[in-house]
Amino acid sequence: MEYIKENDYVIIYTSGKKYCIKVVPEKIFTTKTGVIKLSEIIGKPFGIEVNNNFVLKPTIEDIILFGAIRDTQIIYPKDNFFIVSKLDIQHGFKVFECGTGSGALALTLSRAVAPDGMVFTYEKDEKFVKNSKKNIEKFGDINRVKIHFQDIKDGIDEKDFDAAFLDVKEPWEYLDIVYNILKPSAMLGIIVPTVNQISEVIPAMKSKFCDIEIMELFQRYYKLNPYRMRPEDRMVGHTGYLIFGRKIFINDNK
């Protein structure tokens, strides 16, 4: 059993909605169903109910959706989760990412490589560097993430990566540089919002990567009434296209 401590971030789940708040003793949190005095939940177990509100430990999905400050488009959990496993991330891995954005994927990757791996993430917008650092410090382990404030056109400081991910506007411009810092056979993942970008990145990948796949994921939620089972009326129609490929070993001595 885990207990709520002062200054913990917790999720308040109430009438189908979620809020991520910090347990500051002198504060209260008010929902439709009643008031939670935060001083009174300290020392109580996670999962407790207070006036029809439930106090939960934030999961990675809660952090992405309700906790992290987003100052740019994020990679949604459905895509984020798929990427982490598809890239075959394991503890001890050394993972490359560019750009960092709000840090949501870096956070997920850093948990997947823990306790002995490391994520190196590059971002050329200083505002995003600062915000993502804040998010990871708050909800993750900043010792597992090195954020570079750097355009990777100017080089990548590390090499021999076990996996790489690109979330940039023109991924085709970075394929050579990413190729060079990846181990052979390692996975490269890319996300792009438009089909035109797929059309441009695919020809650029073909000589250096094999097992290329292009896909999109949909997530459809259902209403909770068991006597009237049916999907939600609205759904997300598009987040992004995912592209994956594996580095081919090219013998330069040939």
Residues 6+ apart with CB under 8 A from 249: 184, 185
Residue 228 engages its own copies in binding (rule: CB under 8 A): yes
Pairing outcome for strands 145-149 and 17-22: unpaired
Count of residues in contact with its own copies, rule CB under 8 A: 84
Q: Does 77 bind its own copies (CB under 8 A)?
A: yes
The residues, ordered by sequence, that sit 6+ positions from 217 with a Cβ below 8 Å of its Cβ are: 78, 79, 82, 239, 242
Q: What element of type H or E holds 56? A: strand 53-56
Binder among 19, 21, 42, 54 for its own copies (CB under 8 A): 54
Q: Does an H or E element contain 127, and which?
A: helix 126-139
Asked whether position 224 contacts its own copies by CB under 8 A, the answer is yes
Which of 177, 198 has the CB closer to its own copies? 198
Query: Which residue bears the tokens 């590390």?
Result: 158
Q: Based on the shown chain and the rule CB under 8 A, indicate whether residue 180 belongs to the binding site for its own copies.
A: no
From candidates 23, 65, 84, 104, binder to its own copies by CB under 8 A: 84
Instruction: Please report whether residue 136 would count as binding its own copies according to CB under 8 A.
Output: no
CB of 80 to its own copies, least distance (A): 7
Q: CB within 8 A of 141, min separation 6: which ones?
A: 110, 111, 114
Does the footprint of its own copies cover residue 216 (CB under 8 A)? yes
Binder to its own copies among 51, 143, 180, 194 (CB under 8 A)? 194
The binder of its own copies chosen from 30, 33, 180, 199 (CB under 8 A) = 199
